[in-house]
Homo-oligomer: A and B are copies of this chain.
Amino acid sequence: MSKHIKAAFLVCPGYLPVDVIGAHTTLGFLPNTEVHLVWKNKEPVIGFPSYPTIPTTTVAECPDDLDVLCIGAIPGEVLADQETISFVQKHAANGCNMMGICGGALLLGAAGLLKGRKATSNFNTTAPLEKFGAIPVFTSEVVVDGNYYTAGPATGGIEAALLLISKLRGKQAAQFVELVSEYDPHPPFGCGNANTAPKHLVQQAAAMNKEQIEKDVAMAYDTFLRNKN
């Protein structure tokens, strides 16, 4: 019998459902696997775009022996929240596999977990990972460094989860889930990579939410400094 897998996905007010649902489904399709949606309490949280979600467990009640903890993009307030940081640090210290999808990599950075590690995020927050002692990798593929799986938004979570299944259950199990999910994408416009997309679109995308992103990175960095001592 394959080892039972316990996976948790952080949800909170303003979380991005698309960053966690890919990994949640990919892992949740595996036999003998339990998936949890974790937050500080079980009150409904509204994702962005608007997606009211009810957490299934709390940071206090969540199993201590998680095999996987997945974090997608979250607002600055959560990047600065010490209870969340302590929760993430505890599971990292237990040897849990940590997934930082899109802006979720900032939480791993804020918690001081990316020091000396290769990591990526979305194209706006990859360079800032250096502030947290990480080695930023500018790629649209998953970056694996030890137990740490970081990736860009959306499908990054699916791909990180498939790599993790390969590690935990072997390559054939991962191939099977990739088939069952029919993960055979065809981007219709070929503009998904900031390194190769038309420059005027990249400039427009980099300008969008610039202030908000700088504020979020600053909040994560304050948390990092606070946790350094």
Contacts and interface: CB of A to CB of B under 8 A. Distances in A.
A181 B123 CA distance: 10
Interface in A145-204: 152-156, 158-159, 162-163, 166, 171-172, 174-176, 178-189, 191-194, 197-198, 201-202, 204
Q: How many copies of this chain?
A: 2
A197 B183 CA distance: 11
A123 to B, nearest CB: 7
Given A52-B54, A175-B201, A25 B35 contact: no
A152 B178 CA distance: 13
Contacts of A197: 175, 179
Interface stretch (A43-51, A92-100, A105-113): A43-51
Given A171-B189, A175-B191, A140 B49 contact: no
A17 interface: yes
Contacts of A142: 188
A99 to B, nearest CB: 14
A185 B159 contact: yes
B205 A176 contact: yes
Interface of A: 16-18, 21-22, 24-25, 27-29, 35, 37, 44, 48-54, 56, 102, 122-123, 140-142, 152-156, 158-159, 162-163, 166, 171-172, 174-176, 178-189, 191-194, 197-198, 201-202, 204-205, 208
B50 A35 contact: yes
A187 B189 contact: no
A75 to B, nearest CB: 16
A197 B176 CA distance: 9
